[in-house]
Amino acid sequence: MNFQLTEDQKTLQETARRYARDKLPTIAQELEHTGSPPSHELIREYSGLGFLGINVPESLGGLGLGNLEALIVLEEFAKISSAVAFPVFESCVGPVRAIERFGNARLRERVVPAVCRGETVVAVAMSEPRAGSALTDLSTRAEAQGDAFILNGTKRWCSGGGHADGYVVYCRMSDDPGAKGIGAVYVERDTPGVSFGKQESLMGFRGVPSSDIYFDNARVPAENVVVPAGGFKKLMEAFDLERCGNATMALGQASGALEDVIEYVQEREQFGKPIVEFQAVQIRLAEMRIRVDAARLLIWRAAANAQDGLPSIVESSVAKCFANEIAREVCGHAVQLMGGYGYSREYPMERRLRDAWGWGIAGGAIDIQKINIASAMVGRRFDQRR
């Protein structure tokens, strides 16, 4: 058991940190004000610098590194903002990894390298108006018709909705009840019969577009099936990696807030001295550091124990749950320590607090993670319907 990063990992971390700090703060502020996602030019720049598909095999256009390396880079980008980090998130831990793991060769070779080149953005479409935490209640259907599937239904809260080039759509592909009938298909944005609702106006996540998606007899080639009916377990296995990404996005809000507030309290003077000289501030800083370090170690444990495969549901859920909770707490403390400057939209701290709250909702709410953890502890699933 080694708690030190390798020299190569440290170099990667420092490279990502330097780029993110030098290049991205102004862009993050622009995305926050406009609500627009990162430009295609910026995403291609990420690709050219090796920040997309970090843990994707080289044969598919990635760097061929591990999940830990991908999460190390993701945190450095997330420290700046969720919006500028989201392309890294999507390419390293997002639904494209389900395509890489479970899709057929033609689909993998068509989609995954394009994502790594920064030419394609892939999002996931899971939730529906009546299926959020109760994901096996999906009603969107894909019915076989010759060499294609006909897709009908509505998806809600799709991060990337209307902006992403393609979507991994969870849907019902047979009449079998519950999870047994669920699979997933890959749907391109310009497929006839696919349309999008208005962009959501959320508390945070500005620069991460979100909208409903409507499928009206959308015809999807059979080769676009990611997993067939009965593949829900595989989809959730891939989602365990996305949980680690979600946890890292939350962690980035907290660790970025901590770095900024450490600088602030040493510069800000009250009563004739820097406020870091006050014991109450010192104790608050220490508490924030403890929580940030603990969250990071839980995330890295899940990634390291997966040995570059897919993390376990319990370790990814523990990491996500803890990181989501401490991010809200740490960012809240940072806002308080900075006073009016923390509460002002001219500075990034209040944005971090809003985004930190969102990561505890996205990708499986905090309480659902706790149910997953308890299920793993006792070795059985709990029936929430009875």
How far does CA 74 lie from the centroid of its chain?
9
pLDDT of residue 289: 98
Joined together, the tokens standing for residue 270 give 């009250």
What domains appear along the chain, each with residue ranges and CATH number?
A: 7-116 (1.10.540.10), 122-229 (2.40.110.10), 233-378 (1.20.140.10)
Per residue in 328-348, pLDDT tens? 999 999 999 999 999 999 899
Residue 385 has pLDDT above 80, yes or no: no
Question: How far is it, in rounded angstroms, from Cα 265 to Cα 274?
Answer: 6
pLDDT of residue 368: 87
pLDDT of residue 136: 83
Per residue in 81-95, pLDDT tens? 999 999 999 999 999
Per residue in 125-142, pLDDT tens? 999 898 877 788 899 999
- Percentage of residues in the chain having pLDDT higher than 70: 100
Joined together, the tokens standing for residue 50 give 């090796």
How far does CA 128 lie from the centroid of its chain?
19
Joined together, the tokens standing for residue 230 give 């009965």
Task: Name the helix (H) or strand (E) containing 186.
Answer: strand 182-188
Question: How far is it, in rounded angstroms, from Cα 184 to Cα 174?
Answer: 12
Residue 245 has pLDDT above 90, yes or no: yes
pLDDT of residue 382: 82
pLDDT of residue 309: 78
Question: How far is it, in rounded angstroms, from Cα 163 to Cα 9?
Answer: 32
How far does CA 288 lie from the centroid of its chain?
23
DSSP codes, 107-174: HHHHHHHHHHTTS--EEEE--BTTBSSSGGG---EEEEETTEEEEEEEEEEEETTTTSSEEEEEEE-S
Question: How far is it, in rounded angstroms, from Cα 246 to Cα 265?
Answer: 29
pLDDT of residue 77: 98
Joined together, the tokens standing for residue 15 give 């490279």
Give CA separation, 368 vs 133, 351, 371, in Å. Answer: 7, 25, 5
Please give the model's pTM, rounded to 2 decimal places. 0.94
Joined together, the tokens standing for residue 260 give 């900024």
Could you report how far apart the first and last alpha carbons of the chain are, in Å? 43
Joined together, the tokens standing for residue 9 give 């990992």
Please provide the size of the chain in residues. Answer: 386
Per residue in 296-323, pLDDT tens? 999 999 999 887 778 888 999 999 999 9
Joined together, the tokens standing for residue 30 give 């622009």
Cβ atoms of 83 and 206 closer than 8 Å? yes
Q: What residue type is 108 in one-letter code?
A: R
Per residue in 176-225, pLDDT tens? 988 899 999 999 999 999 999 999 999 999 999 999 999 999 999 999 99
Task: Name the helix (H) or strand (E) containing 215.
Answer: strand 210-221
Give CA separation, 307 vs 312, 327, 335, in Å. Answer: 11, 26, 37
Residue 384 has pLDDT above 80, yes or no: no
Region 284-298 average pLDDT: 98
